[in-house]
Homo-oligomer: A and B are copies of this chain.
């Protein structure tokens, strides 16, 4: 069985994702589509709208055959570590190819970009360092350094978010020396960060979430942009759990933790860079919402995303030491959801997967998975009071969701 991998967050699954899946099947000619999906906290350093179990279910109902979890130590990181973790896991589970969406849409250009940057590595690194020392953010430094190298025309524009991720996937394949083909699908109808609806059926997840959280927003409003299965699960979750998850649900916890922690403890948290611990405390003493807090924290030096990731790590109490220890190599594969094809694939190939497959937490007692467990515990506390217990228990008791056609 030929397998293709996709790297996803599905926050939530929408028509653009469905389009990407169709194209992925076509381009790869694979028998099985495997998604490696971020867990409870996402790459932009925010809680997922819905728990990983519900998003995994959305994925399988919309055509993914098997969903595995991208562990916390990769999911909440910059593009390079995020891609490294995702591609490692897709490699471990036997994917012959990976297919990603990009603004570029041309796979050869990604390889050319990789070659170009590797042959100009010293100068590139030097320029990045120069710009960071000037006080700009890491992404800005990357982008400026890249342009100053005067890349040829055939090179991917690394100022676009999906191109950046795609570039890192390709780089990870090379670095890991994997026998995996890279494929890309052009993203046309919606830009990653679009906040408004610009097409009749395709909208970015950002604009969908914005509509969902708007004061006047209703779930009906987003129905044109998501598959029926997504809409049903959104309605169901909203009915049972009364609210979706967003940073503001966790603001009181974050503030409490910042105000009770010692500066020593804050300094030990991943992404709390030198000196940030004092700004964090001052902002927490003064802010009355997460948004207010972030606005007080924001400077030219730090992107909103970097600061949100830092907040995620403070919230989940994740230290630099814990991250470093776990981010060099994935050491388990947690199964979240599958259909018949996914199950068949697993049964056939699981003997050859070099990592333990985790079906149920209670029968996998390894310290490595601590960060995912803690993330799920904390994530559960952002649910409405009556539903926290159910969400907490899910992390321990939920077996992979199996959807038979």
Contacts and interface: CB of A to CB of B under 8 A. Distances in A.
A252 interface: yes
Contacts of A257: 256-257, 260
A381 interface: yes
A260 B262 CA distance: 15
A255 B381 contact: yes
Given A255-B381, A381-B252, A260 B317 contact: yes
A374 interface: yes
Interface residues of A, number: 21
Contacts of A255: 381
A317 B262 contact: yes
Nearest to A286: B389
A112 interface: no
Interface in A226-264: 252-253, 255-257, 259-262
Given A252-B252, A288-B389, A377 B260 contact: yes
A137 to B, nearest CB: 28
Nearest to A256: B253
A253 B253 CA distance: 6
6 contacts: A252-B381, A253-B253, A256-B256, A256-B257, A256-B378, A285-B377
Contacts of A377: 259-260, 285
B259 A374 contact: yes
A315 B253 contact: no
Interface string A250-286: 0011011101111001000000000000000000010
Nearest to A380: B259
Contacts of A259: 374, 377-378, 381
A392 interface: yes
Nearest to A377: B259
B389 A260 contact: no
A288 B389 CA distance: 8
Interface string A356-380: 0000000000000000001001100
A265 to B, nearest CB: 8
A97 interface: no
B260 A378 contact: yes
Given A255-B381, A259-B378, 18 more contacts: A252-B252, A252-B253, A252-B381, A253-B256, A256-B256, A256-B257, A256-B381, A259-B374, A259-B381, A260-B316, A260-B317, A260-B374, A260-B377, A260-B378, A261-B317, A262-B317, A285-B392, A288-B389
A63 to B, nearest CB: 35
A259 B260 CA distance: 15
A12 to B, nearest CB: 26
Nearest to A318: B260
A153 B211 CA distance: 78
A49 to B, nearest CB: 20
Contacts of A285: 377, 392
Nearest to A287: B389
Which 5 A-B residue pairs are closest in the complex by CB-CB distance? A260-B317, A259-B377, A253-B256, A256-B381, A260-B378
Interface in A323-377: 374, 377
Nearest to A396: B285
Contacts of A262: 317
A338 to B, nearest CB: 28
Contacts of A381: 252, 255-256, 259
Residue from the set A260, A265, A381 with the largest chain B CB neighbour count within 10 Å: A260
Contacts of A315: 260
A389 B389 CA distance: 30
